[in-house]
Amino acid sequence: MTDEMPGRPSEGQPKHVPVMADRAVELFTPAITQRAADGTGAVLVDATLGLGGHAERFLRDFPGLRVVGLDRDQRALSLSRERLAAFGDRVTFVHTRFDGIVTALDQAGLAQSEAVDAILFDLGVSSMQLDEKGRGFAYSIDAPLDMRMDTTTDLTAADVLNTYSRGQLARVLSVYGEERFAGRIASAIVRYREQQPFTTSAPLVELLYGAIPAAARRTGGHPAKRTFQALRIEVNGELDALEKVIEPACAALAVGGRVAFMSYQSLEDRIVKRELAQRVKSRSPEGLPVDLPGTGPEFRLLTRGAERASETEAATNPRSAPVRLRAAERIARRSQ
């Protein structure tokens, strides 16, 4: 998954090159092989299954591994079922947003806590969603302003643009898009919709070119990037879901289990960084030479800061360029 990056739309079935797959395998191998070298007895949760690229890599590398794949996008689930059909009942597919992980584990027969060995979050919008013209995620294509990752939900990007007040629009653009011209853009949106409602992306992109000063358009990427990011996050509740899922995901990990997050913009990465930092701290009073029993850290970080894709990978798979990877291992159970 990714924010919008250069790339050709696919012909037929969308193509998918999983981001930092080698590094993900390297990070998760010690957790997956705790019981057996082929992963027998181990469970990996791919919380953002998408087209199944990461899942396929793990299933091939570890013939005994079981994967539980979650995705809110029913088309993605359908395509990943086709891609992973050869692995049979080693894969359980669950239609849910990733913060439904507890329910997903229950459906997979893994309701007990600490039953999972590895959990992968590949956040943001998927390559498939960007490449499908009718979804409205890509500002480079004139398409209906939908942006729903789960098309069974109601709120669309057009609804946000046509019904939110100027203040609400400015807040969404400022907080979720980190757009410094949020107020100007919100005012321009309200003026436009007084004449006609927003239905497709091209008029919005044109409006953004007009609302953002020329000097600002020359730096910071495409002028529509931040607004489209903000609308997508609002429509799909992405940051709320991320805030909600980290606690139950960490609770589901066995000791020795590992979790990894691939973020594609700073808002996601800040949440992950903050939440992981809390879990590697001791609860013992400061100044003690050792941790009191049951108060030591539950996790240890596996990455120094946020890791990035290599220059080689970014060149061959441009959608990996913005990724920031953070990972941690559960090292203990705390007493309550």
Q: Which of 278, 277, 282, 322 is nearest to 303 (CA)?
A: 277
Name residue 148's amino acid.
R
Determine the length of the chain. 336
Q: Which of 240, 248, 307 is nearest to 273 (CA)?
A: 307
Contact predicate 54/64, CB 8 Å: no
Count of helix runs (H) and strand runs (E) in the chain: 14, 7
Q: Which residues contact 265 (CB under 8 A, 6 or more apart)?
A: 3, 124, 229, 322
What ranges make up the beta strands (E) of 131-252? Answer: none
Instruction: Return d(Cα 319, Cα 263) in angstroms, integer.
Output: 12
Other C-beta atoms closer than 10 Å to the C-beta of 140 total 14
**Which contiguous run of DSSP H or E holds residue 217?**
helix 214-217
Q: Which residues are annotated as a binding site for S-adenosyl-L-methionine?
A: 52-54, 71, 98, 122, 129
What ranges make up the beta strands (E) of 193-321? Answer: 253-263, 299-301
Q: For the sheet containing 116-122, what is the strand order?
A: 91-95, 66-71, 43-46, 116-122, 253-263, 324-330, 299-301
Q: Which residues are annotated as a binding site?
A: 52-54, 71, 98, 122, 129
Contact predicate 171/177, CB 8 Å: no
